[in-house]
Amino acid sequence: MVRMVPVLLSLLLLLGPAVPQENQDGRYSLTYIYTGLSKHVEDVPAFQALGSLNDLQFFRYNSKDRKSQPMGLWRQVEGMEDWKQDSQLQKAREDIFMETLKDIVEYYNDSNGSHVLQGRFGCEIENNRSSGAFWKYYYDGKDYIEFNKEIPAWVPFDPAAQITKQKWEAS
């Protein structure tokens, strides 16, 4: 998860002044949203990831295509080999994400039920430095677990999240 910032920074460096949404002081707000579904829904990938920079989507990935696809302006940037590398990174995240969702529905004895896990990660980037990073997950719309940088540790908000915390902190 920590790798997301370097990946984005390298993209920013490649783009340079081509990013139109740059604020006056060169600040960027970066957000990733991951969504996983426990039950198959026709035509909807079980896992999807979206990345936004200052509220403009710049990449998407899903469990059907397994490819990180640049969106918007980013499509026009050539020599973006990072997208291939990013596809592998997203695939690895998909695996962990879906395993976590499986753990939760198993904890609640509801493996056949229809549930949604969502992850939100982001930070502010200014002068090549990131700040205010956050990592938080929601299960069926409710707070599930959050990374607290001050401790630093995962803070569970749900009984099942104790298991997730143990897993993530052990690896």
Nearer to ligand NAG among residue 127 and residue 131 (C-beta):
127
Nearer to ligand NAG among residue 107 and residue 147 (C-beta):
107
Strand runs labelled E in the chain: 27-37, 47-53, 56-62, 69-70, 116-126, 129-139, 142-148, 153-156
Eight-class DSSP state of 44: B
Q: Is 25 in the site for ligand NAG (CB under 6 A)?
A: no
Which residue reads 């915390």 in tokens? Answer: 165
In the complex, the smallest distance separating the C-beta of residue 128 from ligand NAG, rounded to whole angstroms, is 4
The correct pick among 10, 18, 23, 26 for binding ligand NAG (CB under 6 A) is 26
The correct pick among 24, 127, 131, 171 for binding ligand NAG (CB under 6 A) is 127
Instruction: Report which of 72, 77, 78, 28 is spatially closest to residue 50, judged by C-alpha positions.
Output: 72
The correct pick among 2, 13, 41, 151 for binding ligand NAG (CB under 6 A) is 13
The correct pick among 43, 78, 128, 171 for binding ligand NAG (CB under 6 A) is 128
Nearer to ligand NAG among residue 94 and residue 158 (C-beta):
158
Contact status, residue 30 vs residue 53, Cβ threshold 8 Å:
yes
Nearer to ligand NAG among residue 132 and residue 159 (C-beta):
159
Q: Is 111 in the site for ligand NAG (CB under 6 A)?
A: yes
Instruction: Report which of 56, 149, 38 is spatially closest to residue 98, judged by C-alpha positions.
Output: 38
The count of chain residues that interact with ligand NAG, using the rule CB under 6 A, is 9
Q: Determine the residue type at 58.
A: F
